Homo-oligomer: A and B are copies of this chain.
Amino acid sequence: VIALDDVVAAQERLRGVANRTPVLRSRTLDERCSAEVFVKSESFQRSGSFKFRGAYNRISSLSADERERGVVTFSSGNHAQAVALAASLVGTKAVVVMPKDAPKAKAAATKGYGAEVVQYDRYREDREALGRALADERGLTLVPPFDDPMVMAGQGTAALELIQEVENLDVLLVPVGGGGLIAGSATAAKALLPDCRVIGVEPEAGDDTRRSLRAGRRVRLPEVPRTIADGLQLQSPGELPFEVNRRLVDDVVVVSDQEIVRAMGFLFERMKVVAEPSGAVGVAALLSSKVDARNLRVGVILSGGNVAADRFAHLISGGNTSLTM
């Protein structure tokens, strides 16, 4: 589906546009895991998450004609903001299909990047169908959140940068939602460091990729998983990412919401960095010993930091049930 060359080409397109995000260390984290841990912090990426990498890689590769017409995506999360920002930088128009009841801050952030927001009723309308209808009607190019080789290759630049900076890694931990980030990351990691184990991390309630890898085919969870990790609330793996991940991902481990909140608190207090719930799952897996890292060099992709301060406050104070969306 994709190869190292695609990730390297994406890195070229992103040069001078995406941030080269810092790799953070913590003596305390190293001691707790008896390991050397390198945290690639995509919280500091433009738009606040790794999603900018894939979106910009795709949108900057549009033909002149496609660029003239614009792009469309359906998402209420980080991908929407990333597409909106990438489109504005490339000088094309973005349409984002978003539920009517999405948090006002998310719609505002997306509009702030210059995108048009089209609202839909999440109980009565199918966002994907609506997105495709808009694409057909207006001649827009669909930029999917993960099921696209250019998007996957772009996401892989996070791992590529990490490996370029720290060189050897024995293990790489990557959050798994639709699977685009880990597919791109595993493509880069396995090509450059064949002995590096690539381990996905999912929320306990949303372990669709773990189940799918075990089954050898894409499994669909019966309902939208209830977890605070809103970026990872997928019912089934993306088709193209799964083709990559079934071959390259060594294992998937799961973490509970409580373990995620603890990791967010650790990252806040010890490493002074903001992680959204989905972004903290790698560190959560380490702190809760879901991965045996002893005496190893461990890379962790902290995928993003888009969490409102009051939501963080609520989670840290122990109130998480009302915020599973």
A129 beta carbon closer than 8 Å to chain B = no
Which residues of the partner chain B approach A322 to less than 8 Å between Cβ atoms? Answer: none
Within 8 A of B (CB), among A261-294: 264-265, 268-269, 272-274
Tell me the complex Cα distance, A265–B274, Å: 11
Cβ of A309 and Cβ of B274 under 8 Å apart? no
Shortest distance from the beta carbon of A8 to any chain B beta carbon, whole Å: 26
Q: Give A43 to B268 CA distance when docked, in angstroms.
A: 10
Q: How large is the interface on A (under 10, 10 to 19, 20 to 34, 35 or more residues)?
A: 20 to 34
Judging by beta carbons under 8 Å apart, are B272 and A305 in contact?
Answer: yes
CB distance from A116 to the nearest CB of B (A): 21
Residue A312 is within 8 A (CB to CB) of chain B in the complex = yes
> Does A310 belong to the interface (CB within 8 Å)?
yes
Main secondary structure of the interface of A (DSSP, over half): helix
A99 to B313, CA, bound (A): 29
Interface centre among A273, A274, A313, by most chain B C-beta atoms within 10 angstroms, is A313
Min CB distance, A300 to chain B, in Å?
16
> A191 at interface (Cβ–Cβ under 8 A)?
no
In this assembly, does A316 line the interface, its C-beta being within 8 Å of a C-beta of chain B?
Answer: yes
Contact status of A265 and B43, CB under 8 A, knowing A22-B22, A272-B274: no
CB distance from A308 to the nearest CB of B (A): 6
Q: Which 5 pairs from chain A and chain B are nearest by CB? A: A313-B313, A272-B305, A43-B272, A272-B274, A265-B309
Q: Can you name 20 A-B pairs with beta carbons within 8 Å? A: A22-B22, A44-B272, A264-B309, A268-B274, A268-B309, A268-B312, A269-B308, A269-B309, A272-B273, A272-B305, A273-B274, A309-B316, A310-B317, A312-B312, A312-B313, A312-B316, A313-B314, A313-B316, A313-B317, A317-B317
